């Protein structure tokens, strides 16, 4: 099905980008082995006062792998890693994979229901976690199927003398946690660094053996385990390196790794890709705007993968002009749509190329990226990666190809697409059809093969018979000089089916009223798209990578159905003037 789709994007590639890649079929950890061989003294990790060379990183990961095996881990076992961005996260990740095990990256912010589901559904045997998480994990131990937990501390990531001073500082601040190590099932992470047997790397069937069981964000309910093979992950970083063809090689790149490694986007662009390029990665465990600006000023990163929410907050820092951000050559953004106004402002501030892309966990995750040198279209997610087919099909059946510039559901086929959902054959059949991944995103493709995301399929608002895409309204709201953040959802209405509700977060020190927002929107939108209900609040619920959790906003409303008397803006029913 859809074998003869048009591929206009091929003529829009940079001339250096091949249409087809002869993929290396190697385990993902092979790139660490090569980096250690070719650039042994090059910094692999820079964190606070600690630097770890590629030679040392290989040694540490070999020890982790050897000791995991000594503790009973066998090929195909799952090991969960529940850490923020620390050197230990990187070391543990490569160690787990070198042991032949499957990594289960886990968000440290997860609460009881999410953790119990995550560990038990994945059948994780071991857990590597931060000691600060012990109070959260301790009462849940009887509910887990875990055999052993290895705890690490922030001090394990520091060099002398900070490693000795940190526990004193933690005790003074009340953040120190004492873990009751027993040498059996509650152990120190450092025990995995002891000299053990010489490691023999496992035999990996790269097309079938899983590297990751990567759980989706769970924004619509319990998260599903996405089965990603070694081939999926290596294909995706080879595709990224092909499109970003001007980075790496003999030129040492420095990645500012703020995106969490436990999210597949952060794992791919801040850990796997830098390793392929033998680049330096500078992990940051939490987003503190002033600290990030200082870090850019100090370590001079050349590549800053991030998310729109992070760029947005940085731009709001009043003293941003005091920092030198000019070392950044490229900002790669994804995970959520990049508002047009935000993109313009950040480029004006840094002079860096902002390259917007698109992906999803089920595709390892990147499927589209704007060209490095060629035409970049504002608001576009760019062109499909080499060897990646993309098509737009009708929303209802998913069987009819849509015309150019006509919106429909985005479907994708390529070597980075997942093997399927873990233990969920029905969901796999619904999402993977005839080799195509149905994304649930509404998009369109223009004449030159550039794709534009309109909205999530589930976010489509149908009001008085008209299809309304929230992203279009959100783009307008972001243009307002006083608006810092915005989200739009559909809310049930007695006569219209649904109405548009907008949630607005004003910029610091700014005051906004509903009338001002309505008047602004009326200048730029057809009347039926103007928000009928507006709520101004201090913040919006978000995931750790800045994606707004619209399901939480819907949950607040529940089953409530609004009447006409409850709307903030009633004019415009039947008046569809303006551009639809």
Selection from 285, 267, 271 nearest residue 57 by Cα? 271
Pairwise CA distance, residues 202 & 317, whole Å: 48
CA atoms within 13 A on the CB side of 130: 21
User: Is residue 580's pLDDT more than 70?
Assistant: no
Q: Strands 303-306 and 280-283: what pairing?
A: unpaired
Pairwise CA distance, residues 463 & 251, whole Å: 54
Selection from 134, 353, 345 nearest residue 243 by Cα? 353
Under the banding of pLDDT at 50, 70 and 90, the label for residue 337 is low
Task: Summarize the chain as % helix, strand, coil (round to 5).
Answer: 35, 25, 40
Region 532-547 average pLDDT: 88
Pairwise CA distance, residues 154 & 108, whole Å: 14
Under the banding of pLDDT at 50, 70 and 90, the label for residue 185 is very high
Model confidence pLDDT, tens digit, residues 199-243: 999 999 999 999 999 998 544 457 899 999 999 999 999 999 999
Q: Is the peptide bond before 148 cis (omega within 30 degrees of 0)?
A: no
pLDDT of residue 352: 87
User: Is residue 336's pLDDT more than 90?
Assistant: no
Region 469-486 average pLDDT: 91
- Please report the domains of the chain, with CATH numbers, ordered by start residue: 50-203 (3.40.50.980), 460-566 (3.30.300.30)
The DSSP symbol for 268 reads I
User: Is residue 575's pLDDT more than 50?
Assistant: no
Pairwise CA distance, residues 193 & 65, whole Å: 9
Quick count: other Cβ atoms within 10 Å of Cβ 317? 15
pLDDT of residue 577: 33
User: Is residue 168's pLDDT more than 50?
Assistant: yes
- Contact assessment for residue 259 and residue 281, using Cβ atoms and an 8 Å cutoff: no
Residues 6+ apart with CB under 8 A from 444: 392, 402, 404, 405, 406, 407, 408, 451, 452, 454
Model confidence pLDDT, tens digit, residues 435-467: 999 999 999 999 999 999 888 778 888 887 677
User: Is residue 166's pLDDT more than 50?
Assistant: yes
Q: Is the peptide bond before 392 cis (omega within 30 degrees of 0)?
A: no
Region 64-70 average pLDDT: 97
Pairwise CA distance, residues 234 & 245, whole Å: 16
Under the banding of pLDDT at 50, 70 and 90, the label for residue 335 is low
Q: Strands 124-130 and 78-82: what pairing?
A: parallel
Q: Where are the alpha helices (DSSP H) in 11-80?
A: 30-38, 54-70
User: Is residue 515's pLDDT more than 90?
Assistant: yes
Q: Which residues of 550-569 are buried (b: 16+ CB within 10 A; e: fewer)?
A: bbebeeeeeeeebeeeebbb
């Amino acid at each position: 099905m859809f074998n003869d789709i048009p591929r206009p994007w091929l003529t829009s590639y940079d001339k250096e980008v091949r249409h087809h890649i002869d993929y290396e079929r190697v385990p993902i950890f092979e790139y660490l082995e090569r980096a250690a061989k070719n650039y042994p003294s090059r910094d692999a990790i820079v964190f606070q006062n600690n630097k770890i060379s590629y030679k040392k990183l290989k040694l540490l990961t070999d020890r982790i792998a050897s000791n995991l095996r000594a503790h009973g881990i066998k090929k195909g076992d799952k090991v969960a890693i529940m850490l923020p961005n620390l050197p230990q996260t990187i070391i543990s990740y490569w160690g787990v994979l070198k042991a032949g095990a499957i990594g289960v990256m886990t968000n440290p912010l997860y609460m009881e229901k999410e953790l119990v589901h995550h560990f038990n559904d994945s059948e994780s045997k071991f857990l590597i976690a931060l000691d600060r998480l012990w109070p959260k994990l301790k009462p849940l131990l009887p509910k887990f199927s875990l055999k052993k937990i290895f705890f690490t501390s922030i001090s394990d990531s520091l060099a002398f003398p900070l490693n000795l001073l940190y526990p004193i500082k933690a005790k003074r601040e009340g953040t120190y946690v004492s873990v009751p190590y027993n040498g059996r099932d509650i152990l120190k992470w450092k025990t995995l660094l002891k000299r053990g047997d010489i490691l023999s790397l496992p035999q990996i069937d790269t097309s079938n053996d899983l590297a990751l069981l990567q759980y989706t964000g769970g924004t619509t309910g319990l998260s599903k385990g996405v089965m990603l093979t070694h081939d999926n992950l290596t294909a995706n970083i080879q595709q990224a390196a092909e499109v970003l063809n001007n980075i790496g090689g003999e030129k040492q790149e420095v990645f500012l790794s703020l995106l969490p490694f436990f999210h597949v986007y952060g794992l791919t662009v801040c850990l796997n890709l830098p390793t392929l390029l033998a680049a330096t990665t500078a992990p940051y465990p939490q987003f503190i705007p002033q600290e990030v600006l200082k870090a850019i000023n100090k370590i001079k990163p050349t590549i800053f993968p991030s998310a729109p929410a992070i760029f947005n907050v940085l731009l709001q820092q009043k003293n941003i002009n005091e920092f030198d951000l000019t070392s950044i050559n490229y900002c790669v953004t994804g995970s959520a749509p990049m508002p047009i106004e935000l993109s313009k402002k950040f480029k004006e501030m840094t002079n860096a190329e902002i390259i917007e892309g698109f992906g999803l966990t089920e595709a390892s995750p990147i499927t589209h990226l704007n060209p490095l040198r060629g035409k970049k279209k504002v608001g576009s997610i760019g062109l499909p990666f080499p060897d990646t087919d993309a098509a737009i099909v009708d929303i209802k059946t998913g069987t009819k190809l849509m015309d150019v510039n006509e919106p429909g559901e985005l479907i994708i086929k390529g070597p980075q697409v997942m093997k399927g959902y873990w233990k969920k054959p029905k969901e796999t059949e619904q999402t993977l059809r005839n080799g195509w991944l149905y994304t649930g995103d509404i998009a369109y493709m223009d004449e030159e093969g550039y794709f534009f995301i309109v909205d999530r399929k589930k976010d489509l608002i149908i009001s008085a018979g008209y299809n309304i895409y929230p992203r279009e309204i959100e783009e307008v709201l972001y243009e307002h000089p006083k608006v810092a953040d915005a989200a739009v959802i559909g809310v049930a209405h007695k006569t219209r089916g649904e109405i548009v509700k907008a949630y607005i977060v004003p910029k610091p020190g700014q005051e906004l009223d509903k009338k001002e927002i309505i008047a602004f929107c009326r200048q730029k939108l057809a009347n039926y798209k103007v928000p009928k209900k507006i709520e101004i609040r201090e913040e919006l619920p978000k995931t750790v990578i800045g994606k707004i959790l619209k399901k939480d906003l819907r949950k607040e409303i529940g089953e409530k159905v609004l009447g006409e008397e409850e709307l903030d803006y009633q004019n415009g029913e039947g008046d569809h003037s303006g551009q639809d």
